[in-house]
Amino acid sequence: MKPPTVFLGEMTNPEVEAFLKNHNAVIVPVGATEQHGPHGPLLTDVLIPQEVARRVAPRIGAVVAPPVNYALSYPHVGFTGLVHIKIPTFMAMIEDLCESFASIGFKRIIFLNGHYDNTYAIAYACANAAYKISKDVKAFPINYWDGFTHADADEFFGLKNGLHANAAETSAVLAINPALVDMDRANVEFPPFPDYTVTNTGPVHTAFFFTSPGSVYWATKSGTWGDARKSTPEMGERYIEAGVRSTLAVLDNIERTFAAMPPR
């Protein structure tokens, strides 16, 4: 007998029909195909949200759709192996996915993003799709790190320890599949950042890197963002579980917000 699965791509269409009789949520991992240093796989930003989604799905009664592997990598253009698509192409794909999943019968379409540069484009694409799908269907994005606590952020992204994101992401891949990481080639690189006057440096990233195509490529030799040499599977497991807690917390907040709104 075929074992049950949370992955939509592993299900038969009768299995999907049976699932939709009692559940209505689908998680779509979204990442990128781009460099992650000389040691990490190009699909790092896909593998992590997919694993988070795998762990979250049974807890919220969802299935996990095949991931979106190709996305926005403007700052990284130039690295060999990077596959980059443009904003209108990406948004059109997200909008089409919203309509398609809605037509199947899903009422909660959750784009679980693992690549920062995708964030706004997914949100605006879902906003466009809202005019084309039933009002009882909600399609929306979250980043798996959106609900990180201050302690999580300090441990995994703290500027003071030089980690940035690369050690945490590399660690997560080590926890998922260590065969995909070549720790003998792990390195530390990226020009030193200034002392920021704001605690959330996301706007800094968006304003400079995203609007400067190839900026990460011309600024570095390998594209490593921080110190990958500190990566461990143990850190990776903590990082993934932090992503699970974060995702569940944000989803709970979103659902309670939807429930509090008056009916239309």
Q: Are 72 and 90 in contact (CB under 8 A)?
A: yes
Q: In this structure, are strands 108-113 and 25-30 parallel, antiparallel, or unpaired? A: parallel
pLDDT at 162: 47
pLDDT at 143: 97
pLDDT at 164: 62
pLDDT tens per residue, range 63-73: 999 999 999 99
pLDDT at 40: 96
Closest CA to 169 of 40, 63, 259: 40
201 pLDDT above the threshold of 70:
no
% of the chain beyond a pLDDT of 90: 75
Closest CA to 34 of 45, 20, 19: 45
CA angle, residues 207, 211, 217, in degrees to nearest 5: 110
CA dist., res. 102 & res. 75, Å (int): 33
Q: What is the mean pLDDT of residues 143-165?
A: 79
Pairwise pLDDT comparison (150 vs 107), residue with the higher score: 107
Using only the alpha carbons of the chain, give its radius of gyration. 19
Weakest mean pLDDT among 22-31, 84-93, 224-233? 224-233
Q: Give the confidence band of 159 by pLDDT, cuts at 50, 70, 90.
A: low
258 pLDDT above the threshold of 60:
yes
Mean pLDDT of the chain: 91
* Cβ neighbours, 10 Å, residue 152: 19
The pTM assigned to this predicted structure is 0.94
pLDDT at 137: 96
Strand partners, 62: 25
